[in-house]
Amino acid sequence: MSDEPSATVTGITRTYGGVPVLTDVSLSVGTGVTAVIGPNGSGKSTLLGVLAGAVDPTAGSVRYRHGGPREGGDKRVGYLPQRVPFRDDLTARETLGFYAALVDGDADAALAAVGLADAADKRVGALSGGMRRLLGIAQATLGDPAVVVLDEPTSGLDPEMRERAFRAAARAGDDAAVVVSSHDLDLVDAHADAVVVLRRGEVAAAGPRERLLAEHDAADVGELYRAVAGGSADGRGVDDEGSEGDASGEGSETVHVAGVSDR
C-alpha cells in the first residue's frame, strides 16, 4: 500500500432521524485493499456511502489526494452500492459502454479484468447473481478511479463467485485505493492489505492487517474480529434499540468465518 493516503476521512458523524449511525469516524486509506468489517448495523454501508460521495455526513469531511466527486479533481471515485439497477434488456457490453462513455473508459477491458469477456454479449437479465456483481465491479473501476468503493460485492454469492469477486476487487487495488465492506472474513484475511473494524458506529480498530493481527495477538482476521468487535455478528449494532441503525440494508447478512458460526 502507498504511504500517501488516497482519501482521508476526518470526524465523520452521520445521523438518521436523530440516531447516530457514525460517530466521529476518522481514518485514511491508501493504494491497495482496505476491508471494512463489523456487526450488522455498525455503519459500514453509511461509511462507504460517505466515502463515495453518495451520502452527506452530518459533520466531518472527506478529502481526496486527486480531488473527489465534489472537489473538481481529475480522478473520480468508483462506487458499487449493494443494489445496482442495471437494465436487464441490455448486454453486459452495452451496459458498460454507457458508463464508459461518461468517464472515457474501456468497456471491453473492464469486462476482461473481471473475467466477463466471454459474457460480453449476454443480456444482463441472463447473468447469474455473481456475474452481475462482477459487472458492478467492472462498472465501478471504469475510467481508472483513484478510489474504488465496493459495498458488499460478495453478498449472496456462492463460495466460488465470492472468491472471484474479491479477487477482482483485489486486482483493482494494484493501482487504486479499494475500500470494500464484507462479512466474509476469510476473504478479507486472504486479500485485504488493511482492515477497519466498526462497532456501534465508531472505529474500534484500523490499520495494516498484519499490524492489527500482531497487536491483538490474532492468528487471522476472524480472531481479530472477535477480539475487537466482541465476537458478535448477530445483526445488532448501533440499532440495538430498534432505531434506523445503518439504514443501508445490512440487517440480513452474516459474518462468514470457516468453521465458526456467530449467529
Question: Could you give the strand order of the β-sheet that contains 32-37, starting from the edge strand earlier in sequence?
Answer: 77-80, 147-151, 177-181, 32-37, 194-199, 202-208
Handedness of CA 140, 73, 194, 38 (dihedral sign): negative
Domains of the chain: 7-229 (3.40.50.300)
Residues 262, 231: contact at Cβ < 8 Å?
Answer: yes
Q: Write b or e for each residue in 26-38: b if 16 or more Cβ atoms lie within 10 A of its Cβ, otherwise e.
A: ebbbbbbbbbbbb
- Judge whether residue 254 has pLDDT over 90: no
pTM metric for this prediction: 0.83
Residues 6+ apart with CB under 8 A from 55: 14, 46, 49
DSSP classification of residue 262: -
pLDDT score recorded for residue 148:
95
Predicted confidence (pLDDT) per residue in 3-57, tens digit? 679 999 999 999 999 999 999 999 999 999 999 999 999 999 999 999 999 999 9
Average pLDDT score, the chain: 85
Query: CA distances (Å), 40 to each of 61, 143, 168, 246, in order?
Result: 24, 32, 24, 8
Predicted confidence (pLDDT) per residue in 168-188, tens digit? 888 888 889 999 999 999 999
Q: Which residue has the higher pLDDT, 124 or 253?
A: 124
